[in-house]
Amino acid sequence: MRVVLLLSCPDQPGLVHAVAEFVLTVGGNIVHAEQHVDPETSVFFQRVEFDATSDALPRDEVGERFADVASRFRMRVDLRFVDDRPRIAVLASREVHCLADLLARWRAGEISAEIVTVISNHPDHAALAEFSGVPFHYLPVTPDTKAEQELQIRNLLHASEVELVVLARYMRILGPTLLSAYPARIINIHHSFLPAFTGARPYHQAQRRGVKLIGATAHYVTADLDEGPIIAQDVTPVSHRDSVPDLIRKGRDLETVVLARAVSAHVEHRTLVFGNKTIVFG
Amino acid sequence: MRVVLLLSCPDQPGLVHAVAEFVLTVGGNIVHAEQHVDPETSVFFQRVEFDATSDALPRDEVGERFADVASRFRMRVDLRFVDDRPRIAVLASREVHCLADLLARWRAGEISAEIVTVISNHPDHAALAEFSGVPFHYLPVTPDTKAEQELQIRNLLHASEVELVVLARYMRILGPTLLSAYPARIINIHHSFLPAFTGARPYHQAQRRGVKLIGATAHYVTADLDEGPIIAQDVTPVSHRDSVPDLIRKGRDLETVVLARAVSAHVEHRTLVFGNKTIVFG
Amino acid sequence: MRVVLLLSCPDQPGLVHAVAEFVLTVGGNIVHAEQHVDPETSVFFQRVEFDATSDALPRDEVGERFADVASRFRMRVDLRFVDDRPRIAVLASREVHCLADLLARWRAGEISAEIVTVISNHPDHAALAEFSGVPFHYLPVTPDTKAEQELQIRNLLHASEVELVVLARYMRILGPTLLSAYPARIINIHHSFLPAFTGARPYHQAQRRGVKLIGATAHYVTADLDEGPIIAQDVTPVSHRDSVPDLIRKGRDLETVVLARAVSAHVEHRTLVFGNKTIVFG
Amino acid sequence: MRVVLLLSCPDQPGLVHAVAEFVLTVGGNIVHAEQHVDPETSVFFQRVEFDATSDALPRDEVGERFADVASRFRMRVDLRFVDDRPRIAVLASREVHCLADLLARWRAGEISAEIVTVISNHPDHAALAEFSGVPFHYLPVTPDTKAEQELQIRNLLHASEVELVVLARYMRILGPTLLSAYPARIINIHHSFLPAFTGARPYHQAQRRGVKLIGATAHYVTADLDEGPIIAQDVTPVSHRDSVPDLIRKGRDLETVVLARAVSAHVEHRTLVFGNKTIVFG
Instruction: Please write the tens of the pLDDT for every residue from C109-148.
Output: 999 999 999 999 999 999 999 999 999 999 999 999 999 9
Choosing from B11, B226, B234, B253, the catalytic residue is: B226
Which residues of chain D are within 8 Å of residue A31 when distances are taken between CB atoms? 37
- Which of B196, B230, B276 is the closest to A193 by Cβ? B196
Which is higher by pLDDT, C95 or B54?
C95
Q: Check pLDDT > 90 for residue D194.
A: yes
Residue in chain B closest to C237 (alpha carbons) equals B237
Choosing from C84, C124, C226, C246, the catalytic residue is: C226
As annotated, the active-site residues of D are 226
Catalytic residue at C124?
no
A250 shares contact with chain C (CB less than 8 Å) = no
pTM: 0.96
Nearest-angstrom CA–CA distance, B8 and D282 = 49
Instruction: Please write the tens of the pLDDT for every residue from C171-210.
Output: 999 999 999 999 999 999 999 999 999 999 999 999 999 9
> Please, where are the H alpha helices in chain A?
15-25, 62-72, 97-107, 126-132, 146-159, 176-181, 202-209, 244-267
Residue in chain C closest to A98 (alpha carbons) equals C104
Contact D158, D186 (CB under 8 A): no
pLDDT band at A273 (very low <50, low <70, confident <90, very high): very high
Handedness of CA D71, D73, D77, D81 (dihedral sign): negative
Contact B276, B228 (CB under 8 A): yes
Nearest-angstrom CA–CA distance, B188 and B169 = 7
Asked if B110's CB is within 8 angstroms of D249's CB, the reply is: yes
pLDDT band at C39 (very low <50, low <70, confident <90, very high): confident
Residue C91 is predicted with a pLDDT of: 98
Asked if A240's CB is within 8 angstroms of B277's CB, the reply is: yes
Which residues of chain C are within 8 Å of residue D278 when distances are taken between CB atoms? 210, 240
- Which of C14, C32, C35 is the closest to B24 by Cβ? C14
Which residues of chain B are within 8 Å of residue A276 when distances are taken between CB atoms? 209-210
SS3 of residue A30 by DSSP: strand
pLDDT band at D54 (very low <50, low <70, confident <90, very high): confident
**Which of the other chains make 3 or more beta carbon contacts under 8 angstroms with chain B?**
A, C, D
Task: Supply the ipTM of this predicted assembly.
Answer: 0.94
pLDDT band at B225 (very low <50, low <70, confident <90, very high): confident
* Mean pLDDT value of segment D11-32: 94
Which residues of chain C are within 8 Å of residue B31 when distances are taken between CB atoms? 37
pLDDT band at D282 (very low <50, low <70, confident <90, very high): confident
What mean pLDDT value characterizes chain D?
A: 96
Please report the residues numbered 81 through 100 in chain B whose beta carbons come closer than 8 angstroms to any beta carbon of chain D: 96-97, 100
- Strand-pair partners of C133: none
B26 shares contact with chain C (CB less than 8 Å) = no
Which residues of chain A are within 8 Å of residue B229 when distances are taken between CB atoms? 210
Which residues of chain D are within 8 Å of residue B127 when distances are taken between CB atoms? 131
Burial class (CB in 10 A: 0-12, 13-18, 19+), B214: buried
- Which of C39, C235, C243 is the closest to D213 by Cβ? C235
D110 shares contact with chain B (CB less than 8 Å) = yes
Asked if C110's CB is within 8 angstroms of A104's CB, the reply is: no
- Which of B104, B108, B110 is the closest to D104 by Cβ? B104
Residue A56 is predicted with a pLDDT of: 86
B17 shares contact with chain C (CB less than 8 Å) = yes
Whole-number Cα distances in Å, A236 to B182, B235, D241: 32, 10, 21
A245 shares contact with chain C (CB less than 8 Å) = no
- Which of C194, C211, C280 is the closest to D239 by Cβ? C280
SS3 content of chain A, % helix, strand, coil (to 5): 35, 30, 35
Residue C55 is predicted with a pLDDT of: 87
- Which of C209, C240, C276 is the closest to D36 by Cβ? C240
Q: Check pLDDT > 90 for residue A282.
A: no
pLDDT band at C243 (very low <50, low <70, confident <90, very high): very high
Q: Check pLDDT > 90 for residue B40.
A: no
pLDDT band at B282 (very low <50, low <70, confident <90, very high): confident
Contact C78, C9 (CB under 8 A): no
Residue D225 is predicted with a pLDDT of: 86
The CB-based long-range contact list for B113-116 (8 Å cut-off, 24+ gap) reads B113/B85, B113/B86, B113/B87, B113/B88, B113/B164, B113/B263, B113/B267, B114/B85, B114/B86, B114/B87, B114/B88, B115/B88, B115/B89, B115/B90, B116/B87, B116/B88, B116/B89, B116/B160, B116/B161, B116/B162
Instruction: Please write the tens of the pLDDT for every residue from A180-224.
Output: 999 999 999 999 999 999 999 999 999 999 999 999 999 999 999
Chain A: give the shortest CA distance to residue C89, in Å: 21
- Which of C128, C249, C260 is the closest to A110 by Cβ? C249
Please report the residues numbered 35 through 64 in chain B whose beta carbons come closer than 8 angstroms to any beta carbon of chain C: 35, 37
Instruction: Please write the tens of the pLDDT for every residue from D163-189.
Output: 999 999 999 999 998 999 999 999 999
* Mean pLDDT value of segment C75-98: 96
Q: Cα A259 vs. chain centroid, distance in angstroms? A: 8
Residue in chain D closest to C232 (alpha carbons) equals D212
D21 shares contact with chain A (CB less than 8 Å) = yes
Choosing from A11, A51, A226, A253, the catalytic residue is: A226
Residue in chain A closest to B231 (alpha carbons) equals A212
Residue A213 is predicted with a pLDDT of: 98
* Mean pLDDT value of segment B24-28: 94
B6 shares contact with chain D (CB less than 8 Å) = no
A101 shares contact with chain C (CB less than 8 Å) = yes
C195 shares contact with chain D (CB less than 8 Å) = yes
Contact D262, D231 (CB under 8 A): yes
**Which of the other chains make 3 or more beta carbon contacts under 8 angstroms with chain D?**
A, B, C
Residue of B212, B220, B239 whose CA lies nearest to B277: B220
Asked if C253's CB is within 8 angstroms of A257's CB, the reply is: yes
What mean pLDDT value characterizes chain B?
A: 96
**Which of the other chains make 3 or more beta carbon contacts under 8 angstroms with chain C?**
A, B, D
A171 shares contact with chain D (CB less than 8 Å) = no
Instruction: Please write the tens of the pLDDT for every residue from D248-274.
Output: 999 999 999 999 999 999 999 999 999
Chain C: give the shortest CA distance to residue D196, in Å: 5
